[in-house]
Each structure stands twice: as C-alpha cells, then as structure tokens.
A and B are shown apart, each in its own frame.
Chain A
Amino acid sequence: MAAVTRPAARRATVAVRWMVLGLAGVFFVLPLYAMLDFSTKGVGGARDLSAWRAIPQDEELRGAIVTSMELAGLTAVLMLVLLVPTLTWVRLRLPRVQRLVEFLCLLPLIIPAIVLVVGIAPLYSWVTYVFGDTPLTLTFVYVVLVLPYAYRALDAGLAGMDLKTLSEAARSLGASWTTVMLRVVLPNLRGAVLSAALLSVALVLGEFTLASLLNFQTLQVAITLTGKRNAALAIAVSLAALVFAFVLLVVLTRLVGRRRDGAETLAPAAPTAVAA
C-alpha cells in the first residue's frame, strides 16, 4: 500500500482507518454477540446454558453433525482422487485439453446450486437406487460444487512447481507413474492439496441448498428444522458452527501462510458464487 508521507495526511488516514475498522467491528460482532446472548438467555435475565448442553443430547442434531463430517471427508478425498491425477496428467501430456478441463471445473460457478438441484433431482433417484438411500450420496454433487475452488488451489500449486522436469527425472530413474504421483507430485503439492481439502470441508459443512432440496439431513438442514421448534438451540448450534469454521480457516491460513508456495492459492480460490 501507498506510504502516506505528510504528517497531517497521515493522521487523517489513520483516523479514517480506525473509524472504518470500528464500524465494521460493531457491524459484524453485534450479531455474534446477539447469538451468544440469545442462546444463553434464562428466565428473568439469568444466564442459562441449557441450549448449549442440549446440542450433544439432541439425537437429530448429533446424527446430522456426524453425517456432515463424513460428507466433508468423503468429498475432500473424492475431489483429490479425481483432480490431482487428472490435472497432473493434463499438464504433462495433454496441454491441448487444459482449457477444456479448466472450463469444466469452473462451470459450476455459473450454475447456481438451486438450479443444479433442479437438474440433478431426477438423477438422484438413480443414485439412491444404486448406492442406497443414504445422505452420503451427496458426496457426488458436493464434489461438483467444490470443483472451482479446488481446481484453482490445485492448479496454482501445479503451476508453481516444475512438474515436467521433476516427473521426467523420476521417470528416467525408473519410477512408475504411481510413484511419480505419490512421491514426487503430492509432496510438492502439499500446500495446495491442503487448501483444496480444507476449502472443500468448509463448503460441505456449510452447504444447505442441495441437501435440503434432495431431502437429506445434514448439519445445516438440521439447524433449520431445529429452528422451527427450539430457536435457542438452533442459534447455539449456528454459533458453534461459525466458530468451528473460523478456527478451521485460521488453521488453513496459518498452514498455507507458512509455506510460501501455497500462499497465493487461498486468495484466488476464494471468489465465489455459491456463498450461502
């Protein structure tokens, strides 16, 4: 950023800066405080933690939390299995297909989840027929949902390493392609793989549209259903989920920030058209 040189201008800049930060602080902290207040409100102004204690006891919520965790893990794994070899292979051997793969990976950005659900609902009667009627089948459509973000993170990671030289060196020393992938590409891609995986986890844990309209009980769906019978409980879970996601992202920024090669991947991965 531009260094402000004149003392008077500098003071003005500092004042404006703190005013902006202060306003933003109030604007964004107020709802969080309200959630904390609302979820601990007892009779006659006393504090009461019963809503928070109810979280682990609520059968429906507990099941949904477990489902969402499993979905997050499965989605991250399937995404990596699908994307890492494909993107590596395309970069090495099929540069002409690169544009097509990029286009397909970014396509979900122009197809809102609410539209995807309309097109995929008929398909899901087949999916549940083949794989059983379990919410874990959401993994497939969630991989589609995280494609753009995962692609950007992994692509930036691959662009940042000398893939051709490394793989040719390994191959000329007799390594198989599996060895190249597991022992040459993946270790060099650690930062990018980590951000792609954690972004996927955050996205899956926050996803509501597809789960709700395909009638599967995930964390976010359970929160809305809970909200209809017990507002304090729903608000307590919401706050817990927000804090959890925040911690997850802080860990991600820390880990990625430490590795300079991956530092670029977080910001370009963020532009989103699926928030909320």
Chain B
Amino acid sequence: MTVSDAVVVRRQGTATAPGPRPTAARRRLLDHLGVLPFLAFVGVFLLYPTLTVVAGAFSDGADGVTLDNVRALSGPAYRDAFLRSLQLSALTAAIGAVSGALLAWAVVTGSPDGRLRRTVTAASGVLAQFGGVTLAFAFLATLGFEGIVTVVLRDSFGIDLFAGGAWIFELPGLVLVYTYFQIPLMVIVFLPALDGLRPQWREASDNLGGNAWTYWRHIGGPILAPAFLGSLLLLFANAFSAYATAAALISQGASIVPLQIRALQTGEVILGQQGVGKALGLAMVIVVTIVMALYALLQRRTTRWLR
C-alpha cells in the first residue's frame, strides 16, 4: 500500500499546490511501482527456484555447463520410472475422466441447488485438493494387510488379496488410490461444462424426431468433446505431478519420477548427482507444460459453445 499512497500524495499535491505536474512518463513509472512487491515476491519464491532447477539440470556442480545430467535420464532406472509415471497418469486420467464424467452427469440431472449436488461438490473438492496423505491411509484401512476388505475377503470368502504379491504398494495399487482424487477432480472440472448444455438443444433435437442416441451423438457429444479432452489432460497433469499419496504409501523405493526425486533429495547426495534431480524436475516441468498448453488450446474451443 505504501507505493500507492505515495502516488496519492503526489497527485493530491499537484491538485492543490502549484508545482510542476509529473510528466506522463514519470507517472507511468510510479504506476509500475505498484506491482513491485508482487513481482519481487514471485521473483524470489517462484522464478528463482524455477531457474535454479533449469540451470542446475545443465550444471556440472562447479562452474561448467554439461549435458551429463540430462543424458543420465536415459539410464534404465530413470527411463522405467518415467514410463511408469506416464502409464500411471494416462491410465488414471482415462479412468477418472470416464467415471467422473458419468458421476457429474448423474449429479447434474438433479436439482441445481439440491443437497446431492452440494454434497458431491464439497466432497469432490476435499478429495481432489486435500486428499494426499489422508487418502493413502484410507486406502490402507480398506485394502491394507489388515484392511477391512482384505479381512472380510480372507475370513469369509477365503480369498487372499495378496496372493499375487503386495500389489497395493506397486503400480496397480497406485492406480486404484489415484482414482480417488482423479474422479473427484473430473467432477469438479466437468460439472460447469455439463451445466452449459441448454435444455432447448435437447428439445429441438426431440422435436426433429431425434432420440437420446442422436442427441448425444450429434449435439451433446460434439459440444462436450473439447471440455472432456481438456479435463482428461488436466487429470493427466494432476496425476503426473502428484507426490503425497505415493510418498505416504511407498516409503522405500522409487517406482515413479516424483519418488525418484525424493530419493535424490533426501539421500546422501553423491557428488554429481544433485544435477540429476534437477534434470528430472526439468523433464517433469516440460511434460506438464506440454499437457497444460494443449489444455489451454482446448479450453479456448470449449468456450465457443459453453460459457
């Protein structure tokens, strides 16, 4: 506020007391001072760390520039982690998008201000934004070695969930637990798109002799397609960047990229390995950037019909 106050003082001064009016250029300069605190903060706590990662990815630890860190990523351990991360993100994005879209549709066909809609929206918000660690524990209580489903299946049906190994701590487990925040996220981002469908479109289609299939095939589907694809991309980026659930569930080992970064971040840093963590980070940022850029493009198309 101090900066804007300074501007006020100056301008009031010019209004009451005789004196040189500030030139347009000077006023523009003063106006720009108003965003300085924001820019300074973002510069220190967002841009500087980002540049640290980018620069560190190409640094040899001393003053030299090197491509070794980036080359190291093609090693089998990192390559597999990347493949698994991409698989996990694609799979959970697909499952989340389809199930979430269905759930959003089921919610939206009810009353717009009803209790069901409010409850589902709030619950989705919690699971999508807040879940993280707590979801891992919910998962353990349900399907862990002493989880309720595990015990019921074992004692009442004689089914051993873990006959094939401790799958809940591996990729299949991550896929399942990730759907618990992917489906809610889809509900949140897809609800507004469904709200945008006008009842008149359906009525027009019915009046022209169309049925549910023709409506969804020729009207609802094409209109929702960009929003659906966009949401799918958002879900992909979301799963790809997620860390907390996997970290809480898997305390040892590094099957996916975020856990690889954890291992490099917390472990004894072997000389020359700091750069690899940053190269991994840079690679993650690049993947997310591409996905989010496509998302922004689709978003622009979505707003053509739905607003």
Select one of A3, A112, A178, A271 contacting B234, CB under 8 A: A271
Interface string of A208-237 (1 = CB under 8 A from B): 110011000000100110011001001100
Kindly report which residue of chain B lies nearest to residue A224, judged by CB atoms: B248
**Cα–Cα, bound, A5→B123 (Å):** 31
The answer for the CA separation of A54 and B109 in the assembled complex, in Å, is 44
Decide if B203 is an interface residue (CB 8 Å cutoff): yes
B77 within 8 A of A: no
In this complex, how many residues of chain A approach chain B with their Cβ under 8 Å: the count is 101
Q: Does B135 contact A (CB under 8 A)?
A: yes
The reply to whether the CB of B38 lies closer than 8 angstroms to some CB of chain A is yes
* Structural contact, A270 and B7, CB atoms closer than 8 A: no
Asked if B142 lies at the interface with its beta carbon under 8 angstroms from chain A, I say yes
Q: Verify if A159 is at the interface (C-beta below 8 Å from B).
A: no
B90 on interface, CB distance cutoff 8 Å: no
A46 within 8 A of B: no
Q: Is the CB of A177 within 8 A of B241?
A: no
Q: Please tell me if the beta carbons of A121 and B38 are within 8 angstroms of each other in the complex.
A: no
Interface hits, A81-97 → B, CB 8 Å: 82-83, 85-86, 89-90, 93-94, 97
CB < 8 Å neighbour of B35 from A97, A111, A115, A234: A97
Asked if B197 lies at the interface with its beta carbon under 8 angstroms from chain A, I say: yes
Main SS class of interface, B: helix
Q: 1/0 per position for A15-31, CB-CB distance to B under 8 A? A: 01110110010001011
| Assembled-state Cα–Cα distance A181/B7 (Å) | 14
With most chain A CB atoms within 10 A of its CB, the pick from B48, B126, B191 is: B126
Q: Is A123's beta carbon under 8 Å from chain B?
A: yes
Contact segment of B17-25, B62-70, B99-107, B163-171: B99-107
A13 in contact (CB, < 8 A): yes
- A234-B137, A257-B113 known; A2 vs B197 contact (CB < 8 Å): yes
A21 touching B148 in the complex, CB below 8 Å, given contacts A31-B139, A120-B49: no
B53 touches A115 (CB 8 A): yes
> In the assembled complex, which residues on chain A have CB atoms less than 8 Å from the CB atom of B251?
228
Interface residues of A in 68-87 (CB under 8 A from B): 82-83, 85-86
Q: How far is the CA of A36 from the CA of B284 in the complex (A)?
A: 37
Residues of A within 8 A of B185 (CB): 270-272, 275
Q: Which of A107, A117, A203, A224 contacts B129 (CB 8 A)?
A: A203
Residues of A within 8 A of B237 (CB): 109-110, 273
Decide: A94 near B289, CB < 8 A? Known: A28-B127, A114-B241, A274-B241.
no
Report A-chain residues with C-beta under 8 Å of the C-beta of B203: 2-3, 5
How far is B240's CA from A246's CA once the two chains are assembled, in angstroms? 25
- How far does the Cβ of B223 sit from chain A's closest Cβ, in whole Å? 11
Within 8 A of A (CB), among B22-81: 31-32, 34-35, 37-39, 41-42, 44-53, 56
Residue in chain A with minimal CB distance to B191: A267
Most buried by B among A2, A110, A113, A205: A2
Q: What's the least CB distance linking B208 to chain A, in Å?
A: 12
CB of B265 within 8 A of CB of A121, answer yes
Q: Determine whether B226 belongs to the interface, using a CB cutoff of 8 Å to chain A.
A: no
Closest 9 A/B residue pairs (Cβ): A2-B202, A119-B49, A112-B241, A206-B130, A115-B281, A238-B134, A208-B244, A31-B138, A38-B141
- A: residues with CB less than 8 A from B are 1-6, 9, 13, 16-18, 20-21, 24, 28, 30-35, 37-39, 82-83, 85-86, 89-90, 93-94, 97, 101, 104, 107-123, 140-141, 143-144, 147, 176-178, 181, 199, 202-203, 205-209, 212-213, 220, 223-224, 227-228, 231, 234-235, 238-239, 241-242, 245-246, 249-250, 252-254, 257, 266-268, 270-276
